[in-house]
A and B are shown apart, each in its own frame.
Chain A
Amino acid sequence: MRVSSKQAIRIGARSLGFVAAAAIAVGSVAVAALVPWTEYRAEAPSVVVQPAESRQQRVCPGPLLALGEDAAAATTAPSVGSADIVTAAEPPDAALEEIPLAAPGNPRAGEDGTPVAIAAEPGGVDAGMLAGAQSQGVSTETLAGFAAAACGEAVAEAWLVAGATSLGRSGLVLLSNPTAVAATVDVRVIGEAGAVEAPSALGIIVPPGSQRVLSLAGLAPNLLSPIVHVTSTGGVIAASLEQSVVVGLAPAGIELTGATAPPATSQVIPGLVVPEAGGVEATEDHVDGDDFPAVRLFAPGDDPVDVSIGVVPGAAGGGGTIEATLEPGRVQDVPLGFLEAGVYTIRIEADAPVVAAARATVGGTEGQTDAAAPSDLAWTVATAPLLDAAVVAVPPGPSPTLQLVNPGGAAAAVTVTEDGTERTVSVPAGGAASLPLGGASSVVLRGTSGLHATVSFAGSDELASFGVQPPGPLDSPIRVYPH
Chain B
Amino acid sequence: MARPAAFRMPRRGPLRLAPMFPRVTAVLVVRHGGDHLRRTLDAIRAQERTPDALVVVLAQADAEAREQSAEAGATHVVQLEEPLSFGEAVRSGERVLGAPASDADALWLLAEDAAPEPDALQAMLALLETAKSVAVAGPKLMEWDEPDRIAGLGRTITRLGRSLPIVGDELDQGQHDGLSDVLGLDPAAILVRHTVWQALDGFDPALPTADDGLDLGVRARLAGHRVAVVPEARVRFAAAGVAGPPGGGRSSTRRRRTRAARAAALHRRLVYAPAAAVPLHWLSFLPLAIVRSVRFLLVKQPGSIPGEFAAAVTTMFSGMRVPRARRVLAAARTVGWSAIAPLRMQPDELRRRRQAAAEARRTRARGRSNELQFVATGGGWVLLATAAASVGLFSWLIGSGGVGGGGLLPLSGFAELWRNAAYGWRDVNIGFVGAADPFNGVLAVLGSLTFWSPSFAVVLLWLVAMPAAAVGVWFAASRLTERGSLRAVAALVYAVAPPFLSALAEGRPGAVLAHVLLGWLAFAVFGAATSWAAAATASLLFAAVIASAPSLAPALLVGWIVAMAVSGRAAVRLAGLPVPAAVLALPLIVEQVGRGTPLGLLGDPGVPVGGAVPTPWQLALGFPEGGWGGWSALVEAAMSSDPRIVATLLVAPLVLAALAAVFAPRWSRAVLALGTVLLGYATAVAATHVSVAIVGPDVVAVWAGAGLSLAWLGLVLASVVALDALRRGAAAAGAVVAVVSLVAVLPAAIVIATDAVPLAPAGERTLPAYVVAQAEGDPRVTTLRMEPEADGGLRATLEHGTGQTLDDQSTLAQTQTELPDSQVELATIAGNLASRSGFDPEAAMREFGVSFVLLAPAADDGRAATQTEARARTALDGNATLVAVGETDFGELWRFAAAEPDAAAAQIPDGAGGWVAGVITTIQVIVIGATLLLSIPTGAGREADRRPRRTARRRDAAVPADVAEGTAAEADASPEDADERAEADASSEDADERAGADAPSDGAESTDGVEAPAPPRAPRRTEGDDDARE
Q: Is B828 a contact of A45 with CB atoms below 8 Å?
A: no
**Does B827 sit at the interface, judged by CB under 8 A?**
yes
Q: Bound complex: CA of A179 vs CA of B876, how far in Å?
A: 13
Q: Is B794 a contact of A479 with CB atoms below 8 Å?
A: yes
**Does A5 sit at the interface, judged by CB under 8 A?**
no
Residue among B429, B662, B792, B838 making CB contact with A122, cutoff 8 Å: B838
Residue among B619, B690, B793, B827 making CB contact with A32, cutoff 8 Å: B619
Interface string of A226-237 (1 = CB under 8 A from B): 000000011110
Nearest residue (CB) in B for A38 is B689
**Surface stretch bound by B, among A52-60, A195-203, A269-277, A337-345:** A52-60
Across the interface, which residues of B come within 8 angstroms of A45, CB to CB?
A: 694, 816-819, 823
Q: Bound complex: CA of A483 vs CA of B797, how far in Å?
A: 6
Interface string of B780-813 (1 = CB under 8 A from A): 0000000001011111110000000000000001
Nearest residue (CB) in B for A480 is B827
Q: Bound complex: CA of A33 vs CA of B813, how far in Å?
A: 32
Q: Is A51 a contact of B817 with CB atoms below 8 Å?
A: no
Nearest residue (CB) in A for B686 is A37
Return A261 CB to nearest CB of chain B, in Å.
13
Across the interface, which residues of A come within 8 angstroms of B677, CB to CB?
A: 25
Q: Is B835 a contact of A51 with CB atoms below 8 Å?
A: yes
Return B14 CB to nearest CB of chain A, in Å.
69
Across the interface, which residues of B come within 8 angstroms of A474, CB to CB?
A: 835-836, 871, 874-875
Q: Bound complex: CA of A53 vs CA of B837, how far in Å?
A: 6
**Does B889 sit at the interface, judged by CB under 8 A?**
no
**Does A473 sit at the interface, judged by CB under 8 A?**
yes
Q: Is B878 a contact of A179 with CB atoms below 8 Å?
A: yes
Q: Is A181 a contact of B880 with CB atoms below 8 Å?
A: yes
Q: Bound complex: CA of A3 vs CA of B903, how far in Å?
A: 87
Across the interface, which residues of A come within 8 angstroms of B839, CB to CB?
A: 51-52, 54
Across the interface, which residues of A come within 8 angstroms of B835, CB to CB?
A: 49, 51, 474-476, 478
Across the interface, which residues of A come within 8 angstroms of B868, CB to CB?
A: 478
Interface residues on B, range: 35 or more
Residue among A20, A22, A41, A51 making CB contact with B837, cutoff 8 Å: A51
**Does A43 sit at the interface, judged by CB under 8 A?**
yes
Across the interface, which residues of A come within 8 angstroms of B776, CB to CB?
A: none
**Given A18-B663, A473-B867, CB of A482 within 8 Å of CB of B827:** yes
Return B824 CB to nearest CB of chain A, in Å.
5
Q: Is A33 a contact of B615 with CB atoms below 8 Å?
A: yes
Q: Bound complex: CA of A155 vs CA of B870, how far in Å?
A: 10
**Does A14 sit at the interface, judged by CB under 8 A?**
yes
**Does B372 sit at the interface, judged by CB under 8 A?**
no
Nearest residue (CB) in B for A52 is B839
**Does B699 sit at the interface, judged by CB under 8 A?**
yes
**Does B616 sit at the interface, judged by CB under 8 A?**
yes
In the complex, which residues 826-875 of chain B have their Cβ closer than 8 Å to any Cβ of chain A?
826-828, 830-832, 834-839, 863, 867-868, 870-871, 873-875
Nearest residue (CB) in A for B863 is A353
**Given A40-B692, A236-B874, A483-B695, CB of A51 within 8 Å of CB of B836:** yes
Q: Bound complex: CA of A480 vs CA of B871, how far in Å?
A: 13
Q: Is B793 a contact of A478 with CB atoms below 8 Å?
A: yes
Residue among A28, A44, A181 making CB contact with B878, cutoff 8 Å: A181
Number of A positions contacting B (CB below 8 A): 54
**Does A413 sit at the interface, judged by CB under 8 A?**
no
Across the interface, which residues of A come within 8 angstroms of B877, CB to CB?
A: 156, 181, 233-236
Return B689 CB to nearest CB of chain A, in Å.
5
**Does B746 sit at the interface, judged by CB under 8 A?**
no
**Given A45-B817, A353-B863, CB of A40 within 8 Å of CB of B690:** yes
Nearest residue (CB) in B for A50 is B831
**Does A46 sit at the interface, judged by CB under 8 A?**
yes
Q: Is A54 a contact of B699 with CB atoms below 8 Å?
A: no
Nearest residue (CB) in B for A127 is B836
**Does B530 sit at the interface, judged by CB under 8 A?**
no
**Given A29-B617, A47-B831, CB of A483 within 8 Å of CB of B674:** no
Q: Is A478 a contact of B838 with CB atoms below 8 Å?
A: no
Q: Bound complex: CA of A41 vs CA of B702, how far in Å?
A: 10
Across the interface, which residues of B come within 8 angstroms of A475, CB to CB?
A: 835-837
In the complex, number of A-B residue pairs with CB atoms less than 8 Å apart: 195
Across the interface, which residues of A come within 8 angstroms of B692, CB to CB?
A: 40, 42
**Given A40-B691, A44-B697, CB of A33 within 8 Å of CB of B793:** no
**Given A483-B813, A483-B814, CB of A42 within 8 Å of CB of B838:** no
Q: Is A18 a contact of B880 with CB atoms below 8 Å?
A: no
Across the interface, which residues of A come within 8 angstroms of B33, CB to CB?
A: none
Q: Is B880 a contact of A180 with CB atoms below 8 Å?
A: yes
Residue among A29, A38, A122 making CB contact with B620, cutoff 8 Å: A29
Across the interface, which residues of B come within 8 angstroms of A39, CB to CB?
A: 689-691
Q: Bound complex: CA of A140 vs CA of B663, how far in Å?
A: 105
Q: Is A483 a contact of B694 with CB atoms below 8 Å?
A: yes
Across the interface, which residues of B come within 8 angstroms of A51, CB to CB?
A: 831-832, 835-839
Q: Which of B615, B693, B696, B837 has the most CB of A within 10 A?
A: B837
Across the interface, which residues of A come within 8 angstroms of B251, CB to CB?
A: none
Q: Bound complex: CA of A122 vs CA of B655, how far in Å?
A: 70
Return A81 CB to nearest CB of chain B, in Å.
33
Q: Bound complex: CA of A73 vs CA of B330, how far in Å?
A: 127
**Does A21 sit at the interface, judged by CB under 8 A?**
yes
Across the interface, which residues of B come within 8 angstroms of A55, CB to CB?
A: 838
Return A196 CB to nearest CB of chain B, in Å.
23
Nearest residue (CB) in A for B815 is A42
Interface string of A175-199 (1 = CB under 8 A from B): 0000111000000000000000000
Q: Bound complex: CA of A53 vs CA of B824, how far in Å?
A: 18
Interface string of A398-426 (1 = CB under 8 A from B): 00000000000000000000000000000
Q: Is B429 a contact of A157 with CB atoms below 8 Å?
A: no
**Does B682 sit at the interface, judged by CB under 8 A?**
yes
**Does A440 sit at the interface, judged by CB under 8 A?**
no
Nearest residue (CB) in A for B621 is A29
Q: Bound complex: CA of A146 vs CA of B828, how far in Å?
A: 46
Q: Bound complex: CA of A49 vs CA of B875, how far in Å?
A: 14
Nearest residue (CB) in B for A184 is B877
Nearest residue (CB) in A for B872 is A478
Residue among B674, B836, B838 making CB contact with A21, cutoff 8 Å: B674
Residue among A33, A42, A478, A481 making CB contact with B600, cutoff 8 Å: A42
In the complex, which residues 145-177 of chain B have their Cβ closer than 8 Å to any Cβ of chain A?
none
**Does B566 sit at the interface, judged by CB under 8 A?**
no
Return B886 CB to nearest CB of chain A, in Å.
11
**Does A17 sit at the interface, judged by CB under 8 A?**
yes
Q: Is B831 a contact of A42 with CB atoms below 8 Å?
A: no
Return A34 CB to nearest CB of chain B, in Å.
9
Return A54 CB to nearest CB of chain B, in Å.
4
Q: Is A482 a contact of B837 with CB atoms below 8 Å?
A: no
Interface string of B874-910 (1 = CB under 8 A from A): 1101101000100000000000000000000000000
Across the interface, which residues of B come within 8 angstroms of A46, CB to CB?
A: 697, 793, 827
Q: Which of B429, B836, B838, B868 has the most CB of A within 10 A?
A: B836
Q: Is A482 a contact of B796 with CB atoms below 8 Å?
A: yes
Q: Bound complex: CA of A33 vs CA of B838, how far in Å?
A: 54
**Does A371 sit at the interface, judged by CB under 8 A?**
no
Q: Is A481 a contact of B659 with CB atoms below 8 Å?
A: no
**Does A8 sit at the interface, judged by CB under 8 A?**
no
Across the interface, which residues of A come within 8 angstroms of B828, CB to CB?
A: 47, 49, 480
**Does A24 sit at the interface, judged by CB under 8 A?**
yes
Across the interface, which residues of B come within 8 angstroms of A21, CB to CB?
A: 659, 662, 670, 674
> Could you name 29 residue pairs across A and B whose Cβ atoms are closer than 8 Å?
A21-B659, A21-B674, A25-B655, A29-B681, A32-B682, A32-B685, A40-B599, A40-B689, A40-B691, A42-B597, A44-B697, A44-B699, A45-B816, A46-B827, A47-B819, A47-B823, A51-B836, A53-B838, A54-B839, A234-B884, A235-B878, A472-B836, A473-B867, A478-B868, A480-B834, A481-B696, A481-B795, A483-B695, A483-B797
Known: A42-B692, A482-B824; 19 extra A-B contacts, CB below 8 A, are A28-B682, A29-B616, A29-B681, A39-B691, A40-B691, A42-B815, A47-B823, A47-B824, A51-B832, A51-B835, A155-B874, A181-B880, A236-B878, A473-B871, A474-B874, A480-B827, A481-B796, A482-B827, A483-B695
Pairs of residues from A and B, 4 with the lowest C-beta to C-beta distance, nearest first = A49-B831, A51-B835, A32-B616, A479-B793
